[in-house]
Structure 1
Amino acid sequence: MNEGELLRDYISQFITLLNDLNNVEVQTDDEDQAMLL
C-alpha cells in the first residue's frame, strides 16, 4: 500500500467515524464537520 492509498484509507475511516458520531447526535467541531463536505 502506498502513501496515497494509506492516506485515503485514514480519511475514509475518519469520515465514517464522524458520520457515526453524528448519527448518535454527538457534537463535532466545525473543522471536523467540514471534512464531510
Structure 2
Amino acid sequence: MDVFRHAGTPVGILGFAIIMAAVSAFVNDKFIEQVNKLIGI
C-alpha cells in the first residue's frame, strides 16, 4: 500500500491515522451490528 511507503512523512502519518480511524470506525460499527444480530439484541 502507498500509505506505508510515505508513513515517514508527517502527512503520511496523519493520512494513515485518518484512514485507520475511518476504517476502524466503519468496521466496528458493522461488526457490532453483526454481533448484536447473532446475540439477538
Common fold: TM-score over 0.5? yes
TM-score by length of 2: 0.53
| Unaligned segments of structure 2, at least 5 residues | 1-7, 34-41
What stretches of structure 1 move > 6 A for 4+ residues in a row? none
TM-score by length of 1: 0.57
RMSD: 1.5
Q: Percent identity?
A: 8
Structure with the larger helix share: 2
Higher relative contact order (CA 8 A, sep 6+): 1
| Unaligned segments of structure 1, at least 5 residues | 27-37
Greater C-alpha radius of gyration: 2
Aligned residues: 26
